[in-house]
Structure 1
Amino acid sequence: MAKIQKFEDLEIWQLAKQVRVEAYRISDLDPIKSDFGLKDQFGRAAMSISDNVAEGFEYNNNPDFVRFLTYAKGSSGEFRNKLIILEETKKNFKKRL
């Protein structure tokens, strides 16, 4: 098996990048598109997942990489929490229309 030379080749980073791309798409939908604070936090949480994977990989040692993967997992939880809240908000938003 070949050693991975760059974080862009990591499947986990590729998936995290897709989460951020999807977060951009979601940010243009109601109700988040007009809530600039939430939109910013939502994007930052999504970006933090791939950022932590990339940063940890670049340290070139397993203990640091594992630590940053743990941070990425925490950011993933933060992002999922915001998705859940947005879904509930969206339901209420549609009821008001």
Structure 2
Amino acid sequence: MQLVRQCFGERIISRYGNVNSLNWPSRSPDLTSPDFFLWGYLTERVYVNKPKTLEQLKENINREIREVAPETLAAVMKHVMERARLCEAENSHHLKDAIFHK
């Protein structure tokens, strides 16, 4: 924690930081499209040919980002809004009955 505090100061979200994770909205990662869709989607696509160099990895990332269809991004944003509404309806509590699809 000492190293983390040196790097991030008072911006730590942790049981041991000033911003206590217990006060952080539950399911908040599900409210951002990169957390529930983009990273997993890109990881699957970027590593499919097992890049051997950093340059190959960068090329794969750039190519796959360019190939994400605008319709896909629109659908992702629609789902983000649905998740936000569910979270708001639950007063920011856990969404225990919600099933999220990619």
TM-score category (smaller protein): 0.3 to 0.5
Compute the TM-score of the two structures, normalised by the length of structure 2: 0.33
TM-score, with length taken from structure 1: 0.35
Larger Rg: 2
Larger helix percent: 1
